[in-house]
């Protein structure tokens, strides 16, 4: 087990994300279930990873990241238009609903239904926190948790 978070560490953390207005966007503390992340796998922004590097178990940190260093700025290219017919199998779309869409490569992407106008359904694939300054409050619980190593060894 690493003593501090490295560029390829898996980390088990509790976190709270707040927006400028003080509202909580997401928190693992509410449900008591910490989150497991791996640095270097592109699931976290580089700005966030930089704040985690070198932290030890038990460390608590809070910091603020601007949109471009957190979840990015909204891109008009990530707003797509679908026909209502495309939703026949998934059911009637509702504004504000988050739905999973299958990309050309077979991966799934969540999208938020933003508008329904006649036969046209507008879906936003930007991260819900894109464009927001985010205040992070993070507590490091474990680095390279044993449970991950056990799972890796038992495969095959």
Mean pLDDT throughout 64-86? 93
Grade residue 2 by pLDDT with cuts at 50, 70 and 90: low
Give me the domains of the chain, ranges plus CATH numbers: 10-72+129-146 (3.10.50.40), 76-124 (2.40.10.330)
Is the pTM for the entire model greater than 0.85? no
**pLDDT in the model for residue 1:** 56
Strand partners, 102: 108
Percent of the chain with pLDDT over 70: 92
Order of strands, edge to edge, in the sheet holding 108-117? 79-83, 120-124, 108-117, 98-102
| pLDDT tens digits along 78-89 | 999 999 998 888
Determine the Cα–Cα distance for residues 142 and 144; give it in Å rounded to an integer: 6
**pLDDT in the model for residue 150:** 43
| pLDDT tens digits along 5-57 | 999 999 999 999 999 999 999 999 988 899 999 999 888 889 999 999 999 99
């Amino acid at each position: 087990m690493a003593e501090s978070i490295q560029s390829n560490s898996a980390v088990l953390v509790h976190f709270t994300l707040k927006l400028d207005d003080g509202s909580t966007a997401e928190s693992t503390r509410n449900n008591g279930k910490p989150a497991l992340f791996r640095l270097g796998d592109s699931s976290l922004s580089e700005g966030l990873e930089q704040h985690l590097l070198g932290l030890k178990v038990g460390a608590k940190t809070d910091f603020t990241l601007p949109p471009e260093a957190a979840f990015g700025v909204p891109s008009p290219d990530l707003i797509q238009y679908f026909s209502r017919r495309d939703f026949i199998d998934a059911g009637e779309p509702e504004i504000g609903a988050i739905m999973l869409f299958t990309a050309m490569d077979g991966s799934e992407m969540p999208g938020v239904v933003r508008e329904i106008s006649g036969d046209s359904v507008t879906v936003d694939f930007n991260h819900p926190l894109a464009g927001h300054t985010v205040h992070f409050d993070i507590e490091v619980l474990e680095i390279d948790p044993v449970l991950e190593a056990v799972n890796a060894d038992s495969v095959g």
